[in-house]
């Protein structure tokens, strides 16, 4: 079991470009969660998805951010027209049950906007 896989590990984008972050959950996990971590801060919840459904997006910024978890393939966190303030580490977690029991985090994608 390879765990939660996130790629790329590091991503550099110029202001105004798009960033796509990918997350493959653990085998057997159908619940995916995205968190953002600013430097020297704790993780902040962004969105919770199941296959083809967004369950809770209460932590997602209203503009430029979107997430999907298609029937086939990884979950994608998409940030359009990136700005310097989007620079952060983005972590994905997966769970087998839709609760925090069994939560497993990936190693994250470090996004740098220049």
Partner 1 sequence: GESVGLHLPTLSVQEGDNSIINCAYSNSASDYFIWYKQESGKGPQFIIDIRSNMDKRQGQRVTVLLNKTVKHLSLQIAATQPGDSAVYFCAESGNEKLTFGTGTRLTIIP
| Residue 38 Cβ vs partner 1, minimum distance, rounded to whole Å | 10
| Residue 43 Cβ vs partner 1, minimum distance, rounded to whole Å | 5
Give kind and range of the element (H or E) at residue 35: strand 31-37
**Which CB atom, from 7 or from 103, has the smaller least distance to partner 1?**
103
Measured in degrees and rounded to the nearest 5, phi and psi for residue 63 equal: -120, 150
CA dist., res. 3 & res. 64, Å (int): 29
Q: Using DSSP, state whether 55 is helix, strand or coil.
A: strand
**Which CB atom, from 85 or from 101, has the smaller least distance to partner 1?**
101
Residues that bind partner 1 (CB under 8 A): 4, 31, 33, 35, 40-45, 48, 55-56, 59, 91, 95, 98-101, 103-108, 110
Helices (H), the chain: none
**Which CB atom, from 13 or from 109, has the smaller least distance to partner 1?**
109
């Amino acid at each position: 079991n390879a765990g939660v896989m996130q790629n790329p590990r590091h991503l550099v984008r110029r202001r105004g470009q798009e960033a796509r972050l990918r997350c493959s959950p653990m085998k057997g996990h159908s619940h995916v969660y995205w968190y953002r971590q600013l430097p020297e801060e704790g993780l902040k919840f962004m969105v919770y998805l199941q296959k083809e459904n967004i369950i809770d997006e209460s932590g997602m910024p209203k503009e430029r951010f979107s997430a999907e978890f298609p029937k086939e393939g990884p979950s994608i966190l998409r940030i359009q027209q990136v700005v310097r303030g989007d620079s952060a580490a983005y972590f994905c977690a997966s769970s087998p049950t839709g609760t925090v029991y069994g939560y497993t985090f990936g190693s994250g994608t470090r996004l740098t906007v220049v």
